[in-house]
Every structure is written in C-alpha cells, then in structure tokens.
Amino acid sequence: MQFSIQREALLKPLQQVVGVVERRQTLPVLANLLVNVHQGRVSFTGTDLEVEMIATCEVTDAVDGEVTIPARKLFDIVKALPDGVTIHVKLGGERVNVNAGRSRFTLATLPATEFPVIESIELVEKVSLPENVLRDLMERTAFAMANQDVRYYLNGMLLELKQQQLRCVATDGHRLALKEIDLGDAVANQRQVIIPRKGVNELIGLFGSGEGGIDVEFGRNHIRIKREGVVFTSKLIDGRFPDYEAVIPLGADKQAVLFRDELRGALQRAAILSNEKYRGVKIELMPGKMRIIAHNPEQEEAVEELEADTGVSDLAVGFNVGYLLDALAALSGEKVRLSLRDAQSSCLLQDEDNEQTKHVIMPLRL
C-alpha cells in the first residue's frame, strides 16, 4: 500500500475522523485509523465502536492495500508539516513510512483485519436535505442534551420523522429544546431515533454552512449520514424518549415580547450576583416592562428593568439564569416571546416570528 498527497488535502479528512478516536482505548486497534487505498482514492476510518466516521480523498502514485495507523500520531505529524509539502505514505512490512521533504517518520501498524467496521445498516427510511439545514437543526437543540445522566436516553438527541416533518429534540429534564423543519414530501415510515451525545457533537463539527445535499439513512439500530467525501454512522441509544410534547405548556397566555440582545445583556449582568449553586433569577412581569432580580447568600442584589411588550401584571417566576441564556443563544430573531401560564408553570421561549423553534425551561423555586 502506498500513496502521495498534498499536506492540505490530507489534513482535511484526518481532521474529520480523528475526533471519533478515543484517547483511552480498551482495544489497541481502536487508537488507529483504518487506511484503505483503492483505485486512486484513500479512505480513513475511525471508530469507538459506537460512532464511525469515514473520510475519503483522491491520491496519486497509489498502490491498493490497507492497514491501520496510529490516529493521533499521524494527524499530529501532518498538522506539524509545512504548507504545500507533498506527503508520501508507504507500507513496508509492519511499519508505515511517512516522508515529506526532508522529514522522515516510521510508524507502527496493526493488521486491517483486526479493525471493527460497521458494514451495512438495515435501512428503514431515507431523507435528503441541505447540509446547513441539518446543522442548524442540531445546533439550536444540542445544548439541552443531558450529560452522563442515569436516564441514558436523555444523553443524546431525538431525531423524529413524522409525516412531512423532521424534528430534533433534546432535554435534560430541566429544560427542553425543539426545532422542526418541513421536508416537503411525506415520509412512508414514521421514525424516532436517539443519537448519542458524542455522535451529535461530531456531526455538528463535521457540517459546514454550505447548501450541499446530504442523505440521512435511518436504520433499525444505526443512523448513517452521507455527504461528499464523508460517511458517518452511529449506533442508536436503545431507549424510549420521554413524551416531550406533554412538557410544552399549553394555554400559556401570559406573554411578553422583548429585544433578544437586551434581555441577554440584562440576564448576564444579573447572573453575576446570582446564587452560585442554583443560579436562580426572579422574572417579574408588569404592564410594559420586565424586572429581573438576583440574590445571593452574601445579601447582594442585582435588579434589571427592561421595556417589554406585555399586558401581564404581577406575575413572578424563578428560573436558572444559565438555562435562559443558553436558550436565547440558540434563537436567532431580533425579538423573543416568553409565554407563561402562571407562577408555577414552565416558560416557553421562542423567536417572535418563528414557531418552528421552541425552548421550554422549568421553573425554579426561589
């Protein structure tokens, strides 16, 4: 096996796959990338047995063959080489030689036969959409995923196909983020899958802002996403996602519309004097304005007053200020709408002119 390639052309696929490889491995081969040269193209495969990423690119002076090479070492070498240099990779016995200009590196290898590869997935449904649309869906909901929760099904993101819609939903039990898009065509099979947290983060890092098409393939136990030069496959979390629609407050008729940046700034300032453990702030609504109040055990206080388009009077609810700020950061409109039912209800936070994104935050007793 051998091939030659420009440094920049090699760095891109390595960057895409190296993040999947865990630094601490139970199996030595999982610290390696599977490198396969076939008909003038090289593919690099990284996996941690749950998530698999394959990136391919064209090469010259190619001789077909495959082997596994230490992922982090190969990436660090290529990253450290000067721009524009041509890299020559050649397998000799149980070692692989990486040469570039006056630099020479010899790396240990492991046989390709030891490398675990996800072959085929049992396809149930497939949808195609622009890359930037799926990225936007995931970015605006991923922050609400749980992290190492005992309710393992919360440590990921729900991707739901329903009639003509694709939805992303994430919740950690204290807050919920939902965004949906219309696909235009109805899907034959309704499907709910939970992508693990690591897979979601890898996908967000992989996607660019381009409008190139990607294919999302829903399998029984896997999800596979294909874009030009890259194939991403992830195992699904085997569990039942909670009934998230029951969490969205119905009849939340007490509303306030505010400028998003003004509200963010006021919350950031109030957060400085909030309780470090609970990070609670009290939101008070009165006709034409909103007041934000924060206290801490040192008897310090912050009060922020904002103009608000609201007719609500004498309503006060406590919230975790960090959750409010995360939700505001994931919205994009100039103005946002807060919807509440009563002093014990959760808060529904949305862009004023966009119903497709919903953020729900549970109240906090102060």
What is residue 77's predicted lDDT score, i.e. its pLDDT?
98
Q: Is the pLDDT of residue 250 over 90?
A: no
d(Cα 87, Cα 81) in Å, to the nearest integer? 9
pLDDT confidence band for 130 (50 / 70 / 90): very high
Express each pLDDT in 61-76 by its tens digit.
Answer: 999 999 999 999 999 9
Model pTM above 0.95: no
What is residue 189's predicted lDDT score, i.e. its pLDDT?
77
Average pLDDT of the residues in 305-320: 96
Q: Is the pLDDT of residue 289 over 80?
A: yes
Q: Are 336 and 257 in contact (CB under 8 A)?
A: yes
Q: Are 87 and 74 in contact (CB under 8 A)?
A: no
Average pLDDT of the residues in 126-154: 95
Mean residue pLDDT across the chain:
95
Cβ neighbours for 255, distance < 8 A, ≥ 6 positions apart: 310, 312, 337, 338, 339, 340
pLDDT confidence band for 30 (50 / 70 / 90): very high
What is residue 24's predicted lDDT score, i.e. its pLDDT?
82
d(Cα 227, Cα 330) in Å, to the nearest integer? 25
What is residue 365's predicted lDDT score, i.e. its pLDDT?
87
Torsion of CA 185, 186, 191, 192, to 10 degrees: 70
Q: Are 167 and 180 in contact (CB under 8 A)?
A: yes
CA distances from 36 to 56, 140, 233 (A): 9, 36, 18
Q: Which residues in 6-39 are b (16+ Cβ under 10 Å) and which e?
A: ebeebbebbebbbbbbbeeeeeebbbbbbbbbee
d(Cα 343, Cα 6) in Å, to the nearest integer? 62
Average pLDDT of the residues in 150-169: 95
List the single range of 18-22, 55-59, 155-159, 333-337 with lowest mean pLDDT: 18-22
What is residue 288's predicted lDDT score, i.e. its pLDDT?
97
pLDDT confidence band for 115 (50 / 70 / 90): very high
Quick one: tokens of 332?
A: 């994009």
What is residue 356's predicted lDDT score, i.e. its pLDDT?
93
Q: What percent of the chain has pLDDT over 70?
A: 100
d(Cα 208, Cα 210) in Å, to the nearest integer? 6
Average pLDDT of the residues in 246-250: 91
pLDDT confidence band for 194 (50 / 70 / 90): very high
What is residue 291's predicted lDDT score, i.e. its pLDDT?
98
Domains of the chain: 2-114 (3.10.150.10), 123-245 (3.10.150.10), 248-361 (3.10.150.10)
Q: Is the pLDDT of residue 120 over 90?
A: no
Average pLDDT of the residues in 223-239: 95
Q: Is the pLDDT of residue 316 over 80?
A: yes
CA distances from 282 to 31, 251, 275, 292 (A): 49, 22, 12, 6
